[in-house]
Amino acid sequence: MEFSKINLIVCFNTTETNEEFIFQKLYSNFLKNILKNEYTHFKILEKHFD
């Protein structure tokens, strides 16, 4: 859901030339957030099993 929203924003709000650049930037932030959440989740689980 979140990803397709970002995709739409990028497609409609940028010119042809920086579209890809902005998309990559947003996409990497998107991935970073996912990884951060996964990592936090993992830490909580780890604590839980100690």
- Please work out, in degrees rounded to the nearest 5, the angle formed at the alpha carbon of residue 18 by the alpha carbons of 6 and 10: 15
Full-model pTM: 0.39
Question: What is the pLDDT, as a whole number, of residue 5?
Answer: 55
Question: What is the pLDDT, as a whole number, of residue 16?
Answer: 53
DSSP 45: H
- Mean pLDDT of residues grouped by 10 in the chain (50 residues)? 52 58 80 80 72
Query: Distance (Å, rounded) from C-alpha 16 to C-alpha 34?
Result: 28
